[in-house]
């Protein structure tokens, strides 16, 4: 049997590399009984349609950016709350609190999570060095979701909506002058062509997730199911390691190309964490029950 697997990112993104290894592992472990054909860079379905395509069994398996579902339930978006879980240890803790809750939510949609891998922590890209939160005031700050818009407002920056492909042009024309993203995205889009400073504020570690359609999974012979689950567990471990290595490697690439890689001042960090705390308070008042449960479990650990 051959499974088509749509993934949103290009072939050189470490998530895609990891998924191709996962596919190879499955094929090897099942001696070809299950082959997974990976369709990268959104070539099969646009990113926004992948989850629903798996749900309605157009494809059995797919990958997407987990917090795009935060409008459906706050539990999906916990990993994109600034400064809630800002290191790999915290992110791992958060994932173990989040996983059982979203597994239940996904089950309602006939979906089963296989594995989830974080992007390196999000840092700050600016032209000038940012020493305190006050330095952010007045900057045109790229915001692509509600949380970032709120974040920009609290930092007294001006939120600007720019779609990802427009980023280089937006920087070079002055439409935006600050953004938060991972070192991976920064290095891959050659951020040094338009900004000169990366401040490693490590704000949050958003995750990609691979889900499978439960009914199509259940139809597999038991030994194949076991092989898929085993390969998925390995892919999760490997993916987290790749993410750690990626964070350092991509920061090095940016440094080599002349960007200043700055460790944030204590003053900046305490200011940013205050903003994060304010946002968490807001979040708690509006989050779903499932979202609250993830947070409670995370804080209890």
Residues that bind another protein (CB under 8 A): 4, 10-13, 37, 39-46, 48-49, 52-53, 55-59, 68-72, 108-109, 137-140, 143-146, 149, 156-170, 172-175, 188-190, 193-194
Opening angle at CA 19, ends 17 and 22, nearest 5: 115
Query: Shortest approach of another protein to residue 162 CB, angstroms?
Result: 7
Query: Shortest approach of another protein to residue 218 CB, angstroms?
Result: 18
Query: Shortest approach of another protein to residue 226 CB, angstroms?
Result: 24
Residue in 72, 83, 61, 138 with CA at minimum distance from that of residue 105: 72
143 vs 205, beta carbon nearer another protein? 143
Query: Shortest approach of another protein to residue 126 CB, angstroms?
Result: 15
190 vs 233, beta carbon nearer another protein? 190
147 vs 268, beta carbon nearer another protein? 147
| CA torsion through residues 14, 190, 76, 245, sign | positive
Query: Shortest approach of another protein to residue 43 CB, angstroms?
Result: 5
Query: Shortest approach of another protein to residue 182 CB, angstroms?
Result: 13
3-state secondary structure of 278: helix
3 vs 298, beta carbon nearer another protein? 3
174 vs 222, beta carbon nearer another protein? 174
29 vs 253, beta carbon nearer another protein? 253
Task: Give the sheet arrangement for strand 178-181, strand by strand.
Answer: 158-160, 140-142, 178-181, 123-126, 197-199, 260-262
Query: Shortest approach of another protein to residue 256 CB, angstroms?
Result: 13
108 vs 301, beta carbon nearer another protein? 108
Structure tokens at 1: 């049997």
């Amino acid at each position: 049997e051959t499974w088509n697997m749509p993934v949103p990112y290009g072939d050189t993104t470490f998530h895609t590399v990891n998924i191709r290894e996962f596919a190879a592992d499955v094929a090897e472990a099942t001696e070809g009984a299950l082959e997974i054909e990976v369709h990268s860079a959104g070539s099969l379905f646009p990113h926004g349609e992948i989850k629903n395509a798996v749900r309605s069994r157009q494809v059995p398996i797919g990958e997407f950016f987990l917090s795009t579902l935060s409008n459906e339930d706050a539990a999906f978006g916990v990993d994109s709350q600034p400064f809630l879980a800002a290191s790999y240890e915290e992110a791992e803790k958060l994932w173990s609190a989040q996983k059982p809750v979203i597994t239940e939510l996904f089950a309602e949609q006939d979906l089963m999570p296989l594995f989830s891998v974080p992007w390196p922590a999000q840092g700050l890209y600016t032209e000038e060095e940012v020493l305190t939160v006050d330095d952010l005031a007045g900057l045109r700050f790229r915001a692509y979701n509600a949380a970032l818009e709120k974040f920009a407002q609290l930092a007294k920056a001006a939120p600007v909506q720019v779609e990802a492909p427009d980023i280089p042009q937006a920087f070079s024309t002055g439409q935006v002058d600050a953004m938060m993203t991972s070192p991976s995205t920064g290095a891959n889009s050659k951020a040094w062509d338009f900004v000169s400073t990366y401040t490693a504020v490590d704000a949050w570690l958003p995750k990609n997730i691979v889900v499978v359609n439960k009914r199509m999974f259940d139809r597999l012979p038991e030994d194949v199911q076991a092989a898929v689950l085993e390969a998925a567990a390995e892919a999760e471990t490997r993916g987290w390691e790749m993410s750690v290595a990626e964070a350092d490697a991509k920061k090095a690439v940016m440094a080599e190309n002349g960007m200043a890689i700055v460790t944030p001042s204590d003053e900046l960090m305490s200011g940013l964490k205050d903003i994060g705390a304010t946002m968490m308070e807001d979040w708690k008042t509006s989050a779903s029950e499932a979202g609250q449960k993830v947070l409670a479990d995370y804080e209890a650990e």
